[in-house]
Amino acid sequence: MKYFSFFLFFLLFLNCKNPTTQESLQIIKKESKRIEISNKLVLNEETEAFIQPYRERITEEMNTKLSYTPKLLSKKDGKYNTPIGNMMADAVFEMANPIYKKRTGNTIDAVILNHGGIRAEINPGDITTKTAYEIMPFENEIVVVKLQAEQIQAMFDYLAQAKRAHPISNMQLVLSEDFKILAQSIAGKPVDKDSVYHIATSDYLQNGGDHMLFLTQPEKLTVLDYKLRNLLIDYFKKHPEINPEKDQRFIER
């Protein structure tokens, strides 16, 4: 701790003013030295002793078992939909819906996430807190956008041309071999041109990430203050076994 105290004093000293001249102190010389990281570096025992209890607590928390999966889950498992992508989109639909309904009185109609946002595989066996951090290492939060029918059509058009397994939930898109839309629906029904739709997504995508510009100008934006990573942790805790499958939600005929 004495090193921290000295560092704090040094910062305060740099920000002080000369009591006589009232002029701010100026740095007139900076020196640096390159230190190679190798096994020759000597561990600072005082710093290590200070950090050790926190490291042990974090390690224990990260290795806490939340759920279990009998198989490998990878975003490479399908052309247009994957078990892991389906699981993530369904998790958002299931976990965010009660929060959104309580806050607004409305329900979420569908979910869209992005294929690139799945940052790791889930190996067979125990699913831990660390698993959720590996899948979603970013601070992305869940938001819900209220969209007009033409924006929903833009969403389906985007998915048809993206040629990627962007995770979706409670909607279906069927494509031909040349990427033409053969069928599209939300909650099993065709899009109604006179209706509005409540779509859950991430704040990254709502801000135009992955060029999903149809999300950027909603009729209404609701921030749930719920990080996607925390949502996954809660979802894993709720379900003792995670065993998603590929299905017919996004396919090519």
pLDDT top residue among 122 and 28 = 122
Report the percent of the chain where pLDDT is more than 90.
77
Cα distance from N-terminal residue to C-terminal residue, the chain: 65
CB 145 within 8 A of CB 221: yes
Q: Can you give the three-state secondary structure of 153-202, one letter per residue? A: HHHHHHHHHHCCCCCEECEEEEECCCCCEEEEEECCECCCCCCEEEEEEE
Name beta bridge partners: 175.
Answer: 181, 252
Q: pLDDT tens digits for 188-231?
A: 999 999 999 999 999 999 999 999 999 999 999 999 999 999 99
- 203 three-state secondary structure: helix
Residue appearing with tokens 């950090």: 51
Q: pLDDT tens digits for 1-16?
A: 444 444 444 444 445 4
CB 249 within 8 A of CB 172: yes
Mean pLDDT for all residues in the chain:
91
CB 140 within 8 A of CB 113: no
Return d(Cα 188, Cα 171) in angstroms, integer.
7
Q: pLDDT tens digits for 141-179?
A: 999 999 999 999 999 999 999 999 999 999 999 999 999
Which has the minimum average pLDDT: 29-38, 49-58, 75-84?
29-38
Domains, the chain, ordered by start: 67-252 (3.90.780.10)
Q: What is the pLDDT of residue 2?
A: 41
Return d(Cα 147, Cα 151) in angstroms, integer.
6
Q: What is the pLDDT of residue 23?
A: 59
